Structure 1
Amino acid sequence: MSTQEKNETIIRDTVRTGYAAIAIGAESPCCCSGRSGPSDPARLAAAMGYDANDLANLPDGANMGLSCGNPVAIAALTEGQVVLDLGSGGGFDAFQAGEKVKMAGRVIGVDMTAEMLGIARKNIGQYRERTGLDNVEFRLGEIEHLPVADSTVDVVLSNCVINLSPDKPQVWQEIHRVLKRGGKLSVSDLAILKPLPEKVREMAAALVGCVGGAVLVDDTRAMLEKAGFTSIMLTPKPGYVQQMQDWNDPLYKEIAEALPEGEKLENYVVSLSIEARKNV
């Protein structure tokens, strides 16, 4: 195994362990989390633009406060579409997508953490009871190697997950592979506006908290173009990071304190809405 392969394995294991801890209710400085301080999952969802009506039928516990945006909203889902949710966790976005595509559509959630997958699959029963729909499933897999056939998906969603991958170009290529011609991606992720100081990049908490693995906005565009995407729209939203600091989230406080004197975290990190299409 090469040094790069070893490093990628370490990163995946770190992320998997962090999310497993959240799934079982243990403390973890994990991705995009508003789980501490005065914030909570419901408050974070509201801050990210989720409508209360869209959350009404969610299974209990599906919202774990792991969002950094609202990919469901920017996707403008319609009845009958096939949707893929990367890093689906407890099913927060997947179940909302299921209500929008209705019985004629289908939603597939993919997550590499067995503990998260167990929660999501357990939540399916309550989702069926509350909505009358049976159109959501969850599969175990890594987003670099999706357990989904070629050209079968209309829309790919992801919320604060791709930045955790040690091989982002491979993720974008996999998304392109599974999308139908004319299909689109709708992603909320963390990105950086300028390179982070070495001290911050090396912080384990920053890695598992999405920040250490985030890349420059321009690099995201370049990777999308190389993967074959067109109609690329990247919309930075710096307000997310400011909200997390205002709520005294310990992860974001720790990262902010590691920055050079006079620098602010929002000068480096933004929530990024990513939209693009696969050529017709």
Structure 2
Amino acid sequence: MHSAFARVEHKLANTSALVYFGIGHTERFPDYWELIAKEAEQSISGFNIKPEQTTQLDTGIMYRNEKTEFSVSAFYNQVDDFILVNYSNMMKANGFVQNIDTRSYGAELSIAHALSTTWKAESALSYVHATNTSDNTPLPQISPLEWRTGLSYSRDNWSVGSLMRVVDRQNRYTLNQGNIVGKDLGAAAGFVIYSLNASWQLTDSTLFSAGADNLFDKNYAEFVSRAGGNGMGGGIPGFIQTERVNEPGRTFWLKLQLTL
């Protein structure tokens, strides 16, 4: 297996901005779960599966001053012989592995700005688009567009904060295809989740925090599924994953952190 990476960085004159461009190539040999635990489409083992070969370009800019931190990055990725796990063949309920070619691109934007000495706003937006170019279908297990934004207030030894997470619907999927730990189960609805948190620095070495996640008890499920075990059975014998499991509802938490 071979890999190489090169990166060029340039700091813009008289600014705090840094521009970069990178190119990389890597190869990955199939692991045990892909090579031995799974079958191939035409055999009882995956020994004929080829290693993945990934080539990626990435670029971006980072900026920082006394009040603002800003970054934007983008990438273009091409994988030859991507190792796909296909669960669509009923005769191979455990799923079989196959090599395909893929193309993907995406971007991420993040900004944090101090509105005053006590107020701070943060926001981040991310998106990935990926395609199975061998079959001209969407590459499975790709998260949809997501936006996170928050506002926090801090003063002396205490702070409070809020977070809003907005996830778009995902209509790009390929049913019953994925990887060792997850597969596409169909389209997924979007959702909005709100959370609150607070912290109190009791001493230099003691920090107490509390919060409420999914404040309005939203019933929702992530698009990207995760389940272990052959045939997507997870840890429950005889259970086959056919639908998404909802995320936790309203959750309250406490945390005490001691620094020794």
TM score, norm. by length of structure 2: 0.26
| Higher strand residue share | 2
Greater C-alpha Rg: 2
TM score, norm. by length of structure 1: 0.25
Bigger relative contact order (CA 8 A; separation at least 6):
1
